[in-house]
Amino acid sequence: MEIFRRSWGVISDPSRFFSKIKKEKGLKKAFTYFFVLSLFGTVMSFAANEMLLDYVYGPLMNAYGFSAPQQEVSQQIVGTWYAIMFFSGLLISFLMAGLIHLWIMLFGGKEEYEKTYQIYAYSKTPSFLFGWIPFFSVLAEAYHVVLLIAGTHKIQGIERNRAIWMFAVPYLIYIAVSIIFLMQFMNSDAMSVFLTNSTI
């Protein structure tokens, strides 16, 4: 199947892959690819979440005196949430590609928006294929940035070192800020309120 061949190509040899799709026209192929892989990632994330709740989070919460949510209620709520996230993600992909396109243009990008959308859609491959696996999501997102760099260099004609600075630095800043906010939340009163409300 073409989608599987493309996913393997972008992961195993991104430089060659992005060189090949320079001639690809329009958004149809890229959006179809994004749709299918996003659906796969959403379904697998939902399944992984249910397994973790049943076999890890639930028993741990019960062991420490917290009440685990009822399974049927949890499945309905989480399922609805994942459905919303899936469809909103499809729409947001166009916005994200637009923001990335503006960023690329600031650094001398040479191609139109459709090429940036292709870069974004294909660069999300590791996030969709492996992001649902616990502890692999960070690595998947990091490789997503690597693919953004490769695609920008090959398709938009931006020098490699400049492309690295364009995406690696903002990503590292994002990681640092996320860690700071997480540490502040863990030490805040909000965390205490959350744990108190979870008690039986």
In this structure, are residues 131 and 120 in contact, taking their beta carbons and an 8 Å threshold? no
Alpha-carbon torsion (152, 118, 85, 75), positive or negative: negative
First vs last C-alpha separation in the chain:
50
Share of the chain above pLDDT 90, in %: 56
Domain count for the chain, please give it: 1
Of residues 104 and 48, more confidence is placed in 104
Of residues 138 and 91, more confidence is placed in 91
Burial class (CB in 10 A: 0-12, 13-18, 19+), 98: middle
pLDDT at 185 over 50: yes
pLDDT at 200: 44
Q: Which residues contact 28 (CB under 8 A, 6 or more apart)?
A: none
pLDDT band at 194 (very low <50, low <70, confident <90, very high): very low
pLDDT at 56: 53
Round to whole Å and give the CA distance between 43 and 30: 20
Show the tokens assigned to 181: 């906010």
pLDDT at 198: 46
Question: 110-150: per-residue pLDDT in tens?
Answer: 899 999 999 999 999 999 999 988 788 889 999 999 999 99
Q: How many residues does the chain have?
A: 200
In Å, what is the CA distance from 55 to each residue of 50, 51, 77, 132? Answer: 9, 6, 19, 16
Share of the chain above pLDDT 70, in %: 80
Show the tokens assigned to 127: 């996030």
